[in-house]
């Protein structure tokens, strides 16, 4: 089993980058999900509610993030280490730091509504939730429930087969293969193991870094938005609801919590128990 891709989404709900290596910190991958877009009242702006967010890309840099739209226009925003604090509706976090006003204006113009860009200065201020498998003292970036999300290619291949089978049963053309990007994973693994084997994992080692599995990942409506076309649809939730529905939710992937830190690289050997 090997690590086949790494994905960083510096700004929550925006597109990200796929580097060949990444540094694992206690709260997640370095640069991953440290920024978010807020309404003026502090509420989160999400990709499921505003698919246009998914059409913007955020790339990390030293002490900054660069935002790029599909026309090629870009803006580099410094981390607001001394920026004003603002209340937020993010769970288990009372405030974030606001970026410079030009970042708010840049995003607002592209989303067609007033928004603000904000940064989490210290992930240690936000603990994991016990309801999502968090243990006392475990910090979290701006991810919903866990520091990392791992998905696997055997599970995606099985899901693609199910989607094609369902289309055939309905007399529809075979759809294009579903992209793993729909699930916004942090790391993707592949190897000669069964589809959805990850459901039974409790520990994972990627390279020399160890993780524990905190919980399976329930899937939300953002997966219904094609990250390329930004069009909505019924997949993959329709097919997951048919084959992977438990406890009133649909499931794909598992969340990981770092037990150690260090660098992981695409191609690293992986082990799971």
Q: Are 19 and 8 in contact (CB under 8 A)?
A: yes
The gap between the terminal CA atoms of the chain, to the nearest Å, is: 12
In a domain, 248, yes or no: yes
Tell whether 241 and 191 lie within a shared domain. yes
Tell whether 152 and 253 lie within a shared domain. yes
Residue 48: pLDDT above 90? no
In a domain, 138, yes or no: no
- The domain of 36 spans 30-126
Q: Express each pLDDT in 155-186 by its tens digit.
A: 999 999 999 999 999 999 999 999 999 999 99
In a domain, 18, yes or no: no
Percent of residues, the chain, with pLDDT higher than 70: 100
d(CA 238, CA 224): 9
pLDDT tier at 19 (50, 70, 90 boundaries)? very high
Tell whether 159 and 268 lie within a shared domain. yes
Q: Express each pLDDT in 76-105 by its tens digit.
A: 999 999 999 999 999 999 999 999 999 999
Tell whether 106 and 213 lie within a shared domain. no
pTM for the model stands at 0.96
What are the start-end ranges of the H helices in 67-193? 101-111, 153-169
Tell whether 170 and 251 lie within a shared domain. yes
């Amino acid at each position: 089993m090997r690590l086949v891709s790494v994905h960083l989404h510096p700004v929550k709900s925006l597109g990200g980058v796929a580097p060949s290596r990444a540094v694992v910190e206690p709260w997640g991958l370095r640069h991953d999900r440290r920024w978010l877009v807020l309404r003026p009242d502090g509420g989160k702006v999400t990709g499921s509610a505003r698919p246009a967010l998914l059409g913007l890309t955020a790339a990390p840099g030293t002490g900054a993030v660069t935002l790029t739209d599909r026309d090629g226009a870009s803006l580099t925003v410094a981390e607001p280490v001394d920026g004003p604090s603002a209340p937020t509706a993010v769970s288990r976090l009372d405030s974030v730091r606001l970026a410079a006003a030009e970042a708010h204006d840049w995003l607002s113009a592209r989303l067609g509504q007033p928004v603000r860009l904000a940064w989490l200065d210290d992930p240690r201020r936000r603990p994991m939730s016990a309801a999502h498998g968090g243990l006392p003292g475990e910090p979290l970036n701006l991810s919903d429930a866990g520091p990392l999300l791992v998905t696997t290619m055997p599970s995606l291949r099985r899901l693609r087969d199910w989607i094609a089978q369902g289309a055939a049963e309905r007399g529809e053309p075979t759809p294009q293969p579903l992209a793993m990007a729909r699930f916004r994973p942090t790391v993707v693994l592949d190897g000669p193991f069964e589809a959805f084997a990850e459901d039974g994992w409790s520990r994972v080692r990627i390279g020399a870094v160890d993780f524990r599995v905190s919980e399976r990942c329930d899937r939300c409506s953002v997966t219904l938005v094609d990250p390329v076309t930004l069009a909505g649809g019924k997949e993959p939730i329709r097919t997951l609801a048919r084959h992977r529905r438990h406890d009133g939710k649909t499931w794909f992937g598992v969340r990981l919590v770092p037990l150690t830190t260090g660098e992981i690289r695409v191609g690293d050997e992986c082990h799971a128990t």
